[in-house]
């Protein structure tokens, strides 16, 4: 079996199809990857045409739809799914892929993708970013209890900036200033990310997380290991546990035994919470003990995070 034939059975999620991410799908398809899942909430603007893989006719369209249409024409045998929404609005089912590639523009979006999706499912994440003066980096996160996650690289300043990017208000969305990076910088970063992805697929998976930093102005590139921080706020949990969608809210309460206390916080996919939001309460679960999760809109891959005073639990909704 050739390497390309082997890649046809592989699936990759691409989150963010802007300066970096718009280049990723075609590079992956040309390498032979057989299934792509695209997620981005933005629409194409005229200013995007200078550095991103879009045509004038795409202006005003959701980026993922425009990109998917282009890819269908170029690579008719590749399975392509697109989701024009925030990461918080999709179920974890879309993350049940072999690899996740992130090209996002805010800390909160990266936290959702890496900490709350990829890590939770045990799926490796390759995250790319660029800055001024032709600087950039690609971080490769290998989920395990002993390896470094995104938040192992964060300090107090990052969390303060996170609060500013993603205020805790209903309907608030992460905001970040555009980098204005040239097309070749985004394309270079995308190429490096795909190269790291193919190393996983065609070789031995690394045992630790790492970063590849580069400075194109000075033609410099270096790789170094990322170390697990003992002060990391992320619990590094990988869960294979599934609560079937055919079960009830009472079954969910049973799984949360030990967290039923004042102050426990339950979050879920936006639209599934009380009042159409992304929050649940223990009292609300008790009132709906006999209702099936599927009747309330929960689908395979949806997740519920319960944070108590001394513990945090993730529940992933499965089939059945």
d(CA 140, CA 95): 16
What pLDDT is stored for residue 309 in this prediction?
A: 63
Q: Which of 225, 252, 278 is the last residue of a domain?
A: 225
The whole-number pLDDT of residue 167 equals 39
Where among 175, 195, 225 does a domain terminate?
Answer: 225
Domain co-membership, 182 together with 271 = no
Q: At what angle do helices 183-202 and 24-31 cross, to 10 degrees?
A: 40
Q: Does 65 share its domain with 26?
A: yes
User: 179 and 19 in contact (C-beta within 8 Å)?
Assistant: yes
pLDDT of residue 159: 85
More reliable by pLDDT, 136 or 163: 136
Q: What domain range includes position 293?
A: 242-318
Are both 130 and 67 inside the same structural domain? yes
Please answer whether residues 102 and 79 qualify as being in contact, where contact means their C-beta atoms are separated by less than 8 angstroms.
Answer: no
Number of domains in the chain: 2
- Among the listed residues 74, 73, 68, the one whose alpha carbon sits nearest the alpha carbon of residue 30: 74
Same domain, 59 and 164: yes
Model confidence band, residue 283 (pLDDT cutoffs 50, 70, 90): confident
Asked if the structure places residue 256 within a domain, the reply is: yes
Judgement on whether residues 209 and 272 belong to the same structural domain of the protein:
no
What pLDDT sits at residue 182?
A: 92
pTM higher than 0.75, yes or no? yes
Tell me, yes or no, whether 13 and 116 share the same domain: yes
CATH of the domain at 250: 3.10.290.20
Q: 85 is written with which tokens?
A: 């929404």
Per-residue model confidence (pLDDT) at position 259: 65
Q: Give the pLDDT confidence score for residue 178 in this predicted structure.
A: 57
Do both 135 and 83 map to the same domain? yes
Same domain, 50 and 123: yes
- Residue 303 pairs in a beta bridge with 316
Whole-angstrom distance, CA of residue 37 vs CA of residue 64: 9
Q: Are residues 260 and 172 in the same domain?
A: no
pLDDT score for 310: 59
Q: Which of 13-22, 46-55, 253-262 has the lowest mean pLDDT?
A: 253-262
**Is it the case that residue 260 has pLDDT exceeding 60?**
no
**Per-residue model confidence as pLDDT tens digits over 60-87:** 999 999 999 999 999 999 999 999 998 8
Is 232 within a domain? no
Q: How confident is the model at residue 171, as a pLDDT?
A: 41
Q: State how far the Cα of 25 lies from the Cα of 36, in Å rounded to an integer.
A: 7
Closest C-alpha among 76, 24, 66 to residue 43? 66
- Distance (Å, rounded) from C-alpha 4 to C-alpha 1? 8
Q: Indicate whether 221 and 246 sit together in one domain.
A: no
User: Is 296 found in the same domain as 216?
Assistant: no
What does pLDDT average to over the chain?
A: 87
Locate 174 and state its tokens: 């992460």
User: Residue 162 domain-assigned?
Assistant: yes
Tell me how far apart the alpha carbons of residues 211 and 208 are, in angstroms, rounded to a whole number: 10
Whether 219 and 258 map to the same domain: the answer is: no
Q: Choose one of 225, 259, 289: the last residue of a domain.
A: 225
- Say whether pLDDT at 102 is over 60: yes
Angle between the N-to-C axes of helices 24-31 and 63-74, in degrees from 0 to 180, rounded to the nearest 10: 30
| Cα–Cα distance, 118 to 147 (Å, whole number) | 14
pLDDT digits (tens, 9 = 90+) for 157-215: 888 888 655 433 334 444 445 557 899 999 999 999 999 999 999 887 899 999 999 99
Q: Which two tokens stand for residue 296?
A: 């309330």
The verdict on residue 231 lying in a domain is: no
250-271 residues labelled b (16+ CB within 10 A) or e (exposed) = ebbbeebeebeeeebebbbbbe
Ranges 33-42, 55-64, 135-144, 284-293: which has the least confidence: 284-293
For 115-134, write each residue's pLDDT tens digit.
988 998 889 999 999 999 99
DSSP sequence for 30-54: HHT--EEEEE---B--GGGGGTSS-
Please give the pLDDT value at position 3.
Answer: 57
Strand partners of residue 49: none
CATH number for the domain that contains residue 130: 3.40.50.720
Picking from 105, 101, 159, 155, the residue whose alpha carbon sits closest to that of residue 129 is: 105
The reply to whether 25 falls in a domain is: yes
| pLDDT higher at 52 or 238 | 52
The DSSP output letter for 227 is: P
- The answer to whether residue 124 sits within a structural domain is yes
Q: What is the mean pLDDT of residues 240-250?
A: 83
């Amino acid at each position: 079996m050739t390497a390309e034939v082997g890649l046809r059975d592989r699936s990759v999620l691409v989150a963010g199809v802007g300066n970096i991410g718009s280049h990723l799908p075609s590079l992956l398809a040309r390498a032979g990857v057989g299934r792509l899942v695209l997620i981005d909430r933005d629409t194409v603007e005229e200013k995007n045409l200078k550095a991103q893989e879009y045509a004038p006719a795409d202006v005003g369209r959701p980026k993922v739809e425009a990109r998917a249409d282009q890819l269908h024409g170029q690579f008719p045998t590749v399975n392509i799914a697109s989701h024009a929404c925030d990461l918080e609005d999709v179920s974890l089912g879309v993350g049940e892929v072999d690899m996740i590639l992130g090209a996002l523009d805010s800390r909160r979006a990266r936290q959702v993708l890496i900490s709350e999706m990829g890590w939770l499912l045990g799926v490796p994440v390759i995250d790319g970013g660029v800055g001024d003066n032709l600087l950039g980096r690609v971080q490769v996160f290998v989920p395990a209890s002993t390896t470094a996650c995104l938040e192992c690289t964060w300090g107090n300043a990052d969390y303060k900036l996170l609060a500013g990017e993603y205020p805790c208000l209903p309907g608030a969305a992460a905001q970040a200033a555009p980098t204005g990076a040239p097309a070749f910088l985004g394309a270079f970063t995308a190429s490096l990310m795909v190269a790291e992805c193919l190393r996983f697929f065609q070789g031995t998976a690394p045992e630790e997380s790492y970063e590849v930093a580069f400075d194109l102005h000075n033609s410099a590139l270096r790789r170094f290991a990322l170390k697990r921080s003992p002060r990391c706020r992320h619990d590094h949990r990988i869960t294979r546990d599934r609560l079937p969608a055919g079960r009830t809210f009472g079954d969910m309460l049973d799984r949360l035994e030990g967290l039923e206390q004042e102050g426990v916080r339950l979050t879920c996919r936006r639209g599934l919470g009380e009042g159409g939001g992304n929050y649940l309460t223990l009292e609300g679960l008790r009132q709906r003990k006999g209702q099936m999760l599927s009747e309330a809109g929960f689908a395979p891959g949806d997740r519920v995070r319960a944070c108590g005073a001394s513990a945090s639990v993730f529940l992933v909704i499965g089939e059945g």
